[in-house]
Amino acid sequence: MNKAIYPGSFDPVTFGHLDIIKRSANLFDELIVGVLNNTTKSPLFSVEERVNMLKEATADISNIKVASFCGLLVDFVEETKASVVVRGLRAITDFEYELQLAQTNHILCPSADTMFLTAGLEYSYLSSTIVREVARFGGDISKFVPDKIAKEMYAKYNIVK
């Protein structure tokens, strides 16, 4: 069985993330969407909320599991017995950082490879940071995230839509 991990903060999950998730799920027997509990960031949503949002957004994809992790990605890779880490690239500016991570992870865990998928053109500009910023000021985020997530974001910012 070939198993991959698609890690990220997913704060919130965007249509760009979901595009990478769906395309990755078609390439592997099992895809684990790993929600990072990053203690250096102050997320809008808790880890539990992000996991639940992803479970709901991917409920129609049978070979996906959603789980949270903290610490090193390579430890999560070894724990889940995954052989591939999937990373999405939006622009060339992402590549240098992602390449450094991939090479470091390969040194730490030689049994796992990293696979890069480029974002679909319609999502190449999109980031969770941009979505949070637009939502914080009450802007329309319906083209960036599923409706339920948009409602949850507006609620976090006490914005009535």
90 is catalytic: yes
161 is catalytic: no
Catalytic residue among 24, 50, 128, 132: 128
17 is catalytic: yes
Q: Is 136 annotated as a binding residue?
A: no
**Angle made by CA atoms 146, 147, 148, in degrees to the nearest 5:** 95
Question: Could you give phi then psi for residue 84, rounded to 5 degrees?
Answer: -140, 140
Q: Is 44 annotated as a binding residue?
A: no
Catalytic residue among 90, 106, 136, 156: 90
**Buried (b) or exposed (e) across 117-140, using 16+ Cβ within 10 A?**
bebeeebeebebeebbebbeeeee
Q: Is 88 annotated as a binding residue?
A: yes
Alpha-carbon distance of 64 to 145, in angstroms, equals: 19
50 is catalytic: no
Q: Is 17 annotated as a binding residue?
A: yes
Q: Is 129 annotated as a binding residue?
A: yes
Alpha-carbon distance of 70 to 68, in angstroms, equals: 7
Q: What is the DSSP letter of 11?
A: T
Catalytic residue among 17, 24, 50, 132: 17
Residues tagged active-site: 17, 41, 90, 128
Annotated binding site for substrate: 9, 41, 73, 87
Annotated binding site for ATP: 9-10, 17, 88-90, 98, 123-129
Annotated binding site: 9-10, 17, 41, 73, 87-90, 98, 123-129
